[in-house]
Every structure is written in structure tokens, then in C-alpha cells.
Structure 1
């Protein structure tokens, strides 16, 4: 609905300066709500809006002349000019009516129907994220890739894209040679059936330690890997068994996080096609063989090898990047995607720069649609037992701490499934703690800070949503579509409506930069405004007409809060 008001402002300015309103509308911005004092709703910086659009240079006199041409009307109540910034105050009754009706009409799509977002291309977006190494328990290091990738997929889907969620498993390489060779010596089928990934991890630790001391064990690992490469039936059968058990165990963790995938892929899918990549590189004279016998690609394209990427070992086998090239080409041909996003930690930045460079050298123009979203590392994530390696331990810890907090809280409601509620709140705490800052930054995790019920935390958002849901049980007149706008003129109501006006701008910025922190900050602001309104806008004991209008308003807050939380990957709770 902000666009309705932006257009009205842009059309006024358009008539005054003689340029199309479409060129002005993107310069009209909602003003952040001020909870302490009344403020205007929109602003327009004349220098940025007018310079380059009309054949005049901005100056104070011209700004005042322009402001004089603008006049209040049925939409705009007040227009002011100060230091080159025009501010606009919307008719308060119209503001209340239009915004709340739009949220009621759009529901979870509110903000995404804005014309601000019309410039973003729609199409097929492929998002590759999580990508753990099979036959190992889900490492906590993969948490960020999983929740960031899930957020990007949710966001793109909400913006109207068709999204393909891909989990590209680390399911090939020497680690499986070690595991295959070691399982016959250290493995136990009974333990494997009882706790597959824990047992495979234990076997891997033992065989890895043995290989460091025993050359024969190391040789056995290479031989097992060679069997896999050549398609040896027994070796492949064991590998397939380990892979299936791993995916089944990962699915349990993904379910707890509320994450799902459309496709499980992996390096193993491209072990044969990576040889085709080498042949393609040879045919285009891109593959260079060093004196050691390794195959490299000269990234400078000047034959000086001052910057190169190794794509083949001296024995002719391929590397991780070779399989990544094969995977990218396969996806380009198979899906003809409009955009592909890789989500990995920042240590892989050079890898993806090289990948994109080689694809470009191979003439794959679709590489221009590929993007690498990087993130920093989490430090200090510990349970009460000490440092953690596995994500399940973190999820268990979050759930246990929230159950304890809920049990100790005087305001806790009777809940049908406390463990499930605690799980959802704990996951929200993890996600918000992770998403508050720039993704590229490392950050230090703090349990006490993450699980506070006040302040900018996931617990606070869940508490706010549950509180709104509880309040709405009083709404017996919810089927009535209309309400009296004069019942919603209090400062807290107006400040919240002003906050709603900014939602599409926040979504626009979030989509443009793929940074969840903008959405997190917006939802925290909405949560704090909701709590102020909850205290100042009484429902119980109010006349029916007033109660209905206020509950209509509180429902709008709940809708926007819940939809924003779901974009972040959080499941809102109704009671806590």
C-alpha cells in the first residue's frame, strides 16, 4: 500500500518538474517511525530526485519554488521543505484504512506486490546450500550454509521466482577410500544400524589415525578408492549404503530446522562427467600439463601460469573444482536457470572465482547468472558439556535451555507439546543470533544473549507472536471486513502503520543484497511497536467498535510478523 501513497506523491512532483512519475517514485522513501513524537510519512531528497531528470541544477531557491507548486489534497495532508528534503504527511484516516485493508487482502504476500520489486527478474532460481560431507555427522559448520540458503530460497520464492533447492553432498574423494578400507577392520553392522553416522564417524577417526602410522592402511584406502572410481560392485554397494544412511540421518536434522530440498545431488554424480570437462578443456586448448604431470588452467590467459587452477592430478583423476565445473554445465543444460546461487563460507571465495572464470573461458555465458553468497564463521558455540562439533548437540541444547526457561517463567501458558514449542523457539534464537549482522562477518555465539526474552532475539519475536495470537482469541467480530478508522488514531497505532509503509523497501533491499539483517531489524522494530501498542490500546473493556478496530490492527501486525519470520526460516509459535 505504500506504493499507492508513493505514486500520489510522485504524480504531484511529476507535474511540478515535468518528468514522468515513474522516474520519481523510486526516490520517494518512507520515513522510519518515531515512537516518541509524530512525524511525516514520506520524504524526497530533491538533489537525488531532480538532478539528472530535468535540465536544471539543484539549488535552494529552485527547491523552494518547486515546493510552492505542491499542494495538499485528499491523500496528502501536509508538505514541508527543510534543507532540500521534501516531507509528506498522509491523510491519517486514509493511511489507517488503506494500509490495514491491503494487509488483510494480501496476507503473507504483503510487501511483495509492490511495484518497487517489479525490476527484479522472475524465473527459475537454483539455490545450492548446506552440502554436508556424507558418512559424517552433520557438522555445526554447515549450520550457516543451511539456514542462509533456506532463507534465500524462501525470499526468492516469495518474490515470485520458481525455486529449486539443491543439496550438493560431499560424497566422493579419499575419505571414502579410508572409510571403505577401515570399515572391514573397525566397523560393526549392529552399531551402524543403531546410530549410523556416529559409528561411521568413529570408524573414520580410527582408520584415519591408523593410516598416519601404517602405510599399508593408507595403501588400502587408495585401492578402495580406485575400486570406487572403476565401478567395483562391492565397493559401490558399501558406498551406496553409507550414502543412503547419511541422507536419512540428515533428513531428521533438516526436519528440526524446518528445511527441505528438491534435489539431493553430489560430487559422485559428476565423477564421469568431469572427464568430459577435461576433454572439453583440451579441445579448447585451455588445459595445460605441468612438468609434474598435473593439469591446470591458466586463469590469466597469458600462458605465464602466474594464476592458475589445478583441475587434474598427475594420475589423471579429477578434483573438486573439476566436478563443480561439470555440475554447473549440467545444470545450465538441464534446467536453463535464470539464476544460480551458491551458499558457502568465505574460505571458498577463490574457488568460486576460479570456477566462474573457467566457465567463462569455456564460453558458458550463463555464468553471468551465477552468484556466490559468502558467510563468516561462528565462534564460541558450546554446550554445557563443552565445545560442540555436531549440529544435533546444538539443537538439543537450545531445546533443553528453552524448556528450562519456560518452566521457570511465571507467564508460561499450558502447552500441548512443550518440547516441540521449545524446539521452535530455540531454532528461532539460533537463526536470529546468526542473522543480526552482516553474513560475511565472523561472530561469537552467546547462549545467554540468544535466549533472552527481551531485546532483539528470536525468543522476543516468538513471544510477541504468541502474545498477539492470544490477544486475537478475543476477536469474535473478525468476519466483519470494515472498521472505524477514527478508533485507530493513537500515536502508537500511527507509528506502527508508518512502519508498515517501509516493508516493501526493506524487502527490496534484502532481495538486492541477500542480507537477512535488514529484515531482522525491521521485524524487531515491529515487535517493539506491537508491545507499545499492546500496552496503550486496550481491548478488554473497550466499546465493541473500538475493540474490533484494535483487533483488526493487531491481526495486521501478526500477519506481517509471521510472514517475515517464515521468510527467515522461523516457525511462529501460538503459545509459550
Structure 2
């Protein structure tokens, strides 16, 4: 049920159709304080158009608008405030949630359009660090939200499996590596070798030249170079799959940088055909002066291609393969210029689908205010953090609920949920200071708090032997605790759509905290099981809360245990 939509339709009529319904819908707010109503329409913007004070417009509208689902409509200080009829609205909301279950909040706004999402994309032969967490969980949540809104997401893990760093790693392995040691613990040992290479290269810069030589061999398909590269890649993918399994994340494509090696020359040819390539200091570039951007480097002096060339090839391949309407790149803030250049080049190439390309930037996870560096060995391994979170969750269960069945499964859901929620509750473009203590807190604005609320609600349903029957729902309670939960449940579909439109999972995370708080107040203040006459209707409200909490957590990539 969307009462904002009903309200905007009534406003449209009252204003004689002079403002579009969509605009009116967008202007409707939720009042800051509940005593000011459930919906509010500010009249300040209409003041110029109607040449009247906003207060006068609000009073005139209040006299025109009425609905059987509006308890009262009143003008207060330039706002038109609407109070919904609690009893019929409560019943309609609960029936809607229980009927639709996990489909509550689902929409067809996407119309089945394909959206490719490039996210996670760790570098081969390096550990999966905390630095890769953000792209991974933000990208997964965006994919889930798009799917919920009727799009067809294609999840792409654009692996960093090519580049000079592999030449450096081969040199390091040949100088200091031990096959048995690396096979025992591939990623940690390869990281040690990578860090050692950079330490030694500061003393002996000749090593960098050797690294370039070995990468050239790799590009020329030298048998030894290819064999080592394939080994490093295979071991990396095994390690990455452990992390993805823990996080419950899967991909439709693992086509990394190497996949596009034979597709870049085609891009260069198209740019030549369209007379877009220019020579600058021996390099080949596409100038972007008209966009106020520096030239996009396509080929270096030595004829080698760059990230931009590869990303152009990848964009063209994805359009030809998936026919996307949108293509999203979940990559850090620091890559904004790069994507602006790539998108501008595709526009100059006259591909109309360039309009569907979008860089979805995010801030960094900082350690003591600084970016984590793999090169210097200043890195926190995501697997270590996840394992510690799961262990702490298990200790918590052993203390508070030692008889819980499937302890390990619940601990895994709670531990990983804590890490994912801690990231997603922050607006994606903000930097986050790494704090294991903050990540692993199970109280306050945390994933475990929401999961515990879900489990608590399920416990009530078990104790009350609840059986679903929408025909018996008759909410008679007029108290604020019940109404606050109802209003929160009502807002869920709109929160999903807004989160999807702005690619901002933090809106769903904040919503889940708000719903959990309102439910816990309700739980503490209303006699849910003791009042036989109202028990079924009250348990129907509890049931609705479990449906929405579980679905909201799912959209963030988090499980909702029924017991904790």
C-alpha cells in the first residue's frame, strides 16, 4: 500500500493538475515528529507560482483533500500534514506484507532490462584484503536491489590478472621463492615475495627492469612465464572462492584483464577509423578538451596498451554479449577521472549506449588514517577478520544460548553479517577507519542487533503458536508503539526504490535499524501473548516484522537466523 501515491493523486486534483504527480510525490515528506502527522507536503515551492503565502496554500489544500484513510488533514506553518486512519491502514499494511511475503517491496520498474555490474575484482596472487571488502559487498547489495526492482543484474568479477606486477612476482619467486612453501600457503607466501621485491627494488632498481622483462615474456607467451602465471592465478581463485562462499556471493563472469588481451587491437582500429587517435610525445591518445578532461592514453610509446584501452574493450564486449541498458563500475573514488575519460571516449566513438555507463564510487577503508598498501605489506586480510568475527559470534552463542542447534551455521551468519552491515551502514562515498572492535560489536547500530531482533520476533511466533490467517487480522490498538511499527513497515517498498535509484545500500541498513528499534519498543511495551482477544493480530504484526527484516537483510547480502 502506497499512501504517498494516494496523497500525491489527491494533491494533483486539488491543484487542478498544474503540477505533475511524480513531482508532487517527490515533494511529500515524513514529518520529523509523529505529532505533526504521518505525511507532510511543503507548500513553499508553490508560493511563487500561486502568488500566495505557503500557509494560505496549505489551508486551501486542507479544505479540498479528504480520504476515508485520512483521519485528519491540517495546515501547520506552510505544511499540509496528513494523519492516517490507524486501524484500517494497519490492517491493510499487515495483510499486504503477509500476502506478498518476501515479494513485499518487489517492483517491475526495471522492466527486465540487463544491468552489468563490475565489482570486487581483486588482484591475482595477492591476498583478499579488507581493501576489497567495500567493492564486494556494495556491488553485491546493488545487484540484489536491482533484481528486487525488476532488472536483470549480471555480476562481473573483473579480476586483476595481468600487468607488470606479474613480471615482478615471477622475478621474486625465481630469486627467493620455494615451491613447497608456496604450495603450502600460496597467497600469504606470494604476498611475502611481492613485498620483498619492492623492499629490494628500493636498494636495487635493476629489479624493476627485470620485472618488466618477465612481463614482456608473459605477453609473448613464454612457456615458463605462462606456467607460473597460471599457477598463481589458480591458487588465487581457490582462496578467493573461500571468501566468496563465506560472504554468500557468486558471479556470472570471472573474465579478468587477461581475457581482453586479444580484444584491444580492435579498439585501436576503431579509434583509427573514426580519426580519434592522435600522437602526443610518441604515445597515442584521444583528446577530450571539449569535456575539460586530460587526453585518454590508449597506447604508450613502446606500443603497449593501458587500463583505458582494456576498459574500452571490456565495455564493447559487455554490450555485444549482454545488450545492457546500464553498466555499473563499483570502484573507489580515486578512479573517477579514469572512468570519466573512458566514458567520454565511448561517447566520441558514437556508441549511444555510453549513456548507460556509470561509475559508482566509494570511500576507502583506512588504517590509522592511511590507505592500506599491499606493496608495503600494510594489509589486513579479510579472511582473518571474517574468521575472528565468526569465532566471537560462536563464543557469544556458547555464553548466552549454549543449547542452540546449528551453532556453527548461526555463528557464521552473525559474524559475516557484522562485517557486511558495518560497511553498508555507512554512505558508500565516505571513508571508514578500520576498527575490528567497531566491526565486531553486536549491540547498537549493527547487523547482529537486527538479526537478534529477527530471532526475538521468531521466538514470539513459536511461543504464541502463531498460524497465518489474514482474515483474522483486526488491529484495534491505537497506541504509538504499534503505529510506529506499522509506519516503518509501510515505508519498506519506497526505501528499496530510493536505495536502488541512488545505488546506496546504507538507506536499507538505516531503515532496518529503525524498524528493529520500533519493534523492540513495541515488544517491551505491548502485552503480545497475554491478551487472548488481540493475540493473533499482534502476532500478525510480529510475523510481518520478521518478513521485512529477513528480506531487508537479504538485500544487503546477510542471513537472518530464526534462533540466536
TM-score normalised per structure 1? 0.89
The reply on whether 1:397 has 2:388 as its aligned counterpart is yes
Instruction: After superposing the two structures, state which structure 1 stretch, 221-230 or 21-30, moved more.
Output: 21-30
Equivalent in the alignment of 1:18 = 16
Among residues 340, 345, 354, which one is paired with 2:341 in the alignment?
354
Q: CA deviation at 1:194?
A: 2.4
> Tell me, what secondary structure is at the counterpart of 2:121?
coil
SS in structure 1 at match of 2:534? helix
The 1-side partners of 2:118 and 2:426 are apart by 22
Label 1:32 to 1:482 Cα distance change in 2 as closer, same or farther (>3 A).
farther
1:562 is aligned to 2:553: no
1:553 aligns with 2:564: no
Of 547-556 and 224-233, the range deviating more from structure 2: 224-233
**1:450 offset after TM fit, Å?**
3.5
Could you give the per-residue CA deviations for residues 325-372 of structure 1, whole angstroms, max 9, x where no partner exists? 111111122211010110111111111111111111222221110111
SS of the residue corresponding to residue 502 of structure 1 reads helix
Q: Is the 8 A contact 2:512 2:549 kept in 1?
A: yes
Match of 1:67 in 2: 62
* Map 1:33-44 → 2, pairs under 5 A: 40-44=37-41
In structure 1, runs of 5+ residues without a counterpart are none
Q: Cα offset for 1:474?
A: 2.3
Rounded Cα–Cα distance in structure 2 between residues aligned with 1:217 and 1:31: 62
Question: How do 1:258-337 residues align onto structure 2 when only pairs under 5 Å count?
Answer: 258-291=248-281, 293-300=282-289, 307-337=294-324
Say whether residues 1:94 and 2:88 are aligned partners: yes
3-state SS of the aligned residue for 1:389? coil
Do the aligned partners of residues 255 and 50 (structure 1) sit closer, same or farther apart at CA in structure 2, a change above 3 Å counting? farther
Q: What are the equivalent positions in structure 2 for 1:226-265 lying under 5 Å apart? A: 226-265=216-255
Deviation of the 1:249 alpha carbon: 1.1
Deviates more, 1:201-210 or 1:139-148: 201-210
**What is the CA distance between 1:19 and its match in structure 2?**
1.9
Q: Which residue number in structure 2 is paired with residue 107 of structure 1?
A: 101
1:257–1:59 distance in 2 versus 1, CA, 3 Å: closer
3-state SS of 1:510 partner = helix
How far apart, in 2, do the equivalents of 1:87 and 1:488 lie? 22
Please list the CA deviations of residues 428-468 of structure 1 after superposition, one character each: whole Å capped at 9, or x if unmatched: 22223222332111122333334334321222112111111
More displaced stretch, 481-490 vs 205-214: 205-214
Q: For 2:289, what is the secondary structure of its paired residue?
A: coil
Aligned partners of 1:301, 1:67: CA distance in 2, in Å?
51
1:163 to 136, 140, 153: 153
The answer to whether the aligner puts 1:571 opposite 2:559 as a matched pair is: yes
User: How far apart are the structure 2 equivalents of 1:290 and 1:11?
Assistant: 59
- 1:494-518 alpha-carbon deviations (Å, 9 max, x no partner): 1111122222332232122112222
Question: Could you say which residue in structure 2 is the equivalent of 1:224?
Answer: 214
Q: Is the CA contact (8 Å cut-off) linking 1:450 and 1:458 kept in structure 2?
A: no
1:412 corresponds to which residue? 401
* CA-to-aligned-CA distance 1:282-318 (integer Å, 9 cap, x gap): 3333222233x2222222169xx98223222221111
Check if 1:507 corresponds to 2:496: yes
Unaligned segments of structure 2, at least 5 residues = 370-376
SS in 2 for 1:272: coil
User: Structure 1 residues 420, 59: CA separation in 2 closer, same or farther (over 3 Å shift)?
Assistant: closer
Corresponding residue to 1:134 among 110, 117, 124: 124
Give the root-mean-square deviation of aligned CA atoms.
2.8
Secondary structure of the 1:61 match is helix
Please report how far the alpha carbon of residue 101 of structure 1 lies from its aligned counterpart in structure 2 after TM superposition. Answer: 0.6
Indicate how the Cα distance of structure 1 residues 197 and 81 shifts in structure 2: closer, same or farther if over 3 A, else same: same
Alpha-carbon distance change, 318 to 455 in structure 1, aligned in 2, over 3 angstroms: same
Maintained 8 Å contact 1:299/1:354: yes
Is the 1:27–1:48 Cα contact (8 Å) retained in structure 2? no
